[in-house]
Structure 1
Amino acid sequence: MFRLWFVILACSFCFEISVSSAKEPVIISFNLTTFGGDIERIKSLHNTSWPLVGKCCPVGQLYRFNDDDNPGENRCEDPRPNEKNEYSPFFSDFNHSGLLVPGLSQPQFVAVIGIPCRHGKYIMDPLTIAEDEYHLMMNGSVFTPLNNVRMLQPGQDYCMEVVSDGRLVVMGCYQPELKVVTADTRLAMYAIGLLISVPFLLATIISYVITRQICDVHGMNLCCYSGCLAVAFLTLALLQLGGQSFDQNACVSAAFVIQFSFIACSFWLNAMTVESWRLIRGYKAGSPPLTSERSPPLYRVFFFYSIWGWGLSAVLIVVSLALGLNPTIPWTYVKRSGNEQPSCWFGLDTYSLPYFYVPVGILVFLNTTLFVMAGIKMAQIQRALDRNRVARNNESDRRDRRVFKELRLTFFFTLALFLILVVNWSMELVSMLTESNVFAWSIFDLVNALQGLFVFGFFVLRRAVRTLVWQRIKELVGIGSERESDDDKANEMTLLSSVTNGTNSTRIVTQ
């Protein structure tokens, strides 16, 4: 009897030792939101021999469903004292013959933390529904042999978690309904406005390229600005209208093109502002704004502007790509109708913000300073011209006023483009600080989308430029200028660029 009792005690002791010595599996976790759902990147950061699984909640927590005893939303939380939380899934695999090997628990594995379901989720219950049979594979996929033979991917289609009753369940993600997604009227109007701007921006470029007299440094800066805006608007309109048919790689590539174009627009607008300031600062009554003796060579000046406009923009994009940052598109340019979830949609990436908004903020400050300085200089010039008009009012004084009027128009039109930029970024800042789109679908959206019309109207349809462009078009198509109206000949102000010894001289001549 004593021996039997001793054997029972020994067996009990051995059983307790085996249970207490059992170890919890080693779990290496990666947060799904941190890596933007990039499972391949997560796999590259850990030992590929370790199994992978999608886990709904952080390590140590379970998923609690809403019921009478647990009011509130479904949520992840720490287990209560009487609840079990053993997260040790069985991993299956296929053998060399292609047969499914029964699953086994693993001593270590990698968990991708997060619920990836955007359209709702459901619990897979193979004990009740035969079609819900599943097998967790070593690579993290969930194989469903009876449900259209699908492979649910971790971080995309499912997550696995312990629930409050101690079960380890798979939560599958509902797929979006297959339907033809149509943009609502406002979204379509916005995209159409962007597309309308593109030909006007291209027409501005063509007008300045074919007309040698106006293709000075400021004109070439304007062409680069218009080209960047045209690329941004065209790509953005295509994403707004047809983004549902783009895959993720195409979306990201297009987004970086848009980001580069908008950054380059800001730099080239700054170049236009600097050139306007140079012209106004160099203006003296009775002489051209920048005489050939005082003006540096045209292409040398434009070369430095190109380094500023293209070079720094490219550096910012290269740095963003090297750091693996997400593309950043201004919220005020990306519109959502609210009726669907477009595939090409990029949220706010706080790590990318400094590489987009800090350069733009610095450029806004520089432009503001230059415009204030130019405004003060223009006021001084205006007072000097008024004094000369009262004292003499001869032909040279009238010519000086026409020269100054042309410079003033260039200044104010550049200022108008800058104000559109400032209002746009101000709305962007308010949207980020309030985390809302309070200005959505305002009248400014239409103005924003039709910037191409304003650029064409400001810099091509003004009388002096329009006349030169029209004359050049008639020369190209072989139409004579004998029928030119008297109104065009009388008191006509034309902007001429004379190239003397490799220098640029901007002059306004009265015919």
Structure 2
Amino acid sequence: MCFDIWRTFSGYRGGSSSKRRERKRFAMYGAYAWGVPALLTAVTIGMQFGTNIPDHIITPGFGHRRCWFDNWLSELVYFFIPVFVLVVCNVVLFSVTANRIRSIRQETAILKGAESSRSDKLKKDKQRYGLYLKLFVIMGVNWTVEVISFAVGGSNWYWIVVDLSNIALGIYIFFIFVWKNKVRSLIAKKWRSVRGLPADSTLGTWGTRSSSAPTDDTRVSADESGMRLKEIH
């Protein structure tokens, strides 16, 4: 996600990519999103159940004393170091992107009359950046707290609070990506179709009028991303 938004603005030209390139990019992102966790899981499983592993090699040690890593060193190697590297990379990419957006905004302000299409696309990409930033902040803060708490220690109640906040992330993500007027409109339309009711331009109890053309402030374009966010607004 952070790499995608950085790539979008790093060589900004304001044009749209072809469908073929979008599909290729989506395949690459999918390979990373599923492949890296699968690789880390495979390595962890191999180190956990492998035979003839030298004693000086750090193993996960699941189930030896608890249903987690055996000791702090195993936890550091197999969990917190990967998380720390990921958080640092995300922070760097978002910071560079924010600086790039500021530069593009200044350039676009000067050339706004001559490059209106570039200005419009910049606005849409900035909306997507804002959406990603919201998601990153709530997720990144939690993971950063996890790493810090591991380094400095903490009482049991503190860990309970952190775990509960991580559980609540799913609810937050749901309201960002799913619980939107357009999505509710589509659900209501589908529900009426299933029940054999006539189509209605209003959403009844939702109290929101549907529209085939979402407004600029609620529409998020995914032209420059393989991540399909066109239904998000």
Larger helix percent? 2
Q: Counterpart in 2 of 1:450? A: 168
C-alpha separation in 2, matches of 1:444 and 1:506: 30
Larger strand percent? 1
**8 Å Cα contact 2:6/2:94 also seen in 1:** yes
Q: Counterpart in 2 of 1:474? A: 188
**8 Å Cα contact 2:221/2:230 also seen in 1:** yes
In the alignment, structure 1 residue 356 sits paired with structure 2 residue 79: yes
**8 Å Cα contact 2:220/2:230 also seen in 1:** yes
Map 1:108-507 onto structure 2 (within 5 A): 272-281=1-10, 283-285=12-14, 287-288=15-16, 290-292=17-19, 294-295=21-22, 297-298=24-25, 300-305=27-32, 306-322=34-50, 325-327=60-62, 349-353=71-75, 354-389=77-112, 391=113, 396=117, 399-416=120-137, 417-431=139-153, 436-437=154-155, 440=158, 446-461=164-179, 466-477=180-191, 478=193, 480=199, 482-483=201-202, 488=211, 489=213, 491-492=215-216, 493-495=218-220
Q: Counterpart in 1 of 2:56? A: none
Identity of aligned residues (%): 17
The Cα shift of 1:439 comes to 6.8
Map 1:9-28 onto structure 2 (within 5 A): none
| Structure showing greater Rg | 1
**8 Å Cα contact 2:62/2:69 also seen in 1:** no
- How big is the alpha-carbon RMSD for the aligned residues of Structure 1 and Structure 2? 4.0
**8 Å Cα contact 1:277/1:374 also seen in 2:** yes
What secondary structure is seen at the aligned counterpart in 2 of 1:483? coil
C-alpha separation in 2, matches of 1:437 and 1:494: 44
C-alpha separation in 2, matches of 1:371 and 1:448: 21
The Cα shift of 1:282 comes to 5.5
Map 1:8-47 onto structure 2 (within 5 A): none
Higher relative contact order (CA 8 A, sep 6+): 2
How many pairs align?
Answer: 208
TM-score (norm. length: structure 1): 0.34
Flag structure 1 segments of 5+ consecutive residues without an equivalent. Answer: 1-271, 329-342
Q: Relative to 1, partners in 2 of residues 1:319 and 1:472: Cα closer, same or farther, differing over 3 Å?
A: farther
C-alpha separation in 1, matches of 2:115 and 2:26: 37
Flag structure 2 segments of 5+ consecutive residues without an equivalent. Answer: 54-58
What secondary structure is seen at the aligned counterpart in 2 of 1:440? helix
**8 Å Cα contact 2:201/2:210 also seen in 1:** no
C-alpha separation in 2, matches of 1:506 and 1:441: 35
Could you give the per-residue CA deviations for residues 144-194 of structure 1, whole angstroms, max 9, x where no partner exists?
xxxxxxxxxxxxxxxxxxxxxxxxxxxxxxxxxxxxxxxxxxxxxxxxxxx
The Cα shift of 1:497 comes to 6.3
Q: Relative to 1, partners in 2 of residues 1:490 and 1:452: Cα closer, same or farther, differing over 3 Å?
A: closer
C-alpha separation in 1, matches of 2:187 and 2:25: 24
**8 Å Cα contact 1:320/1:352 also seen in 2:** no
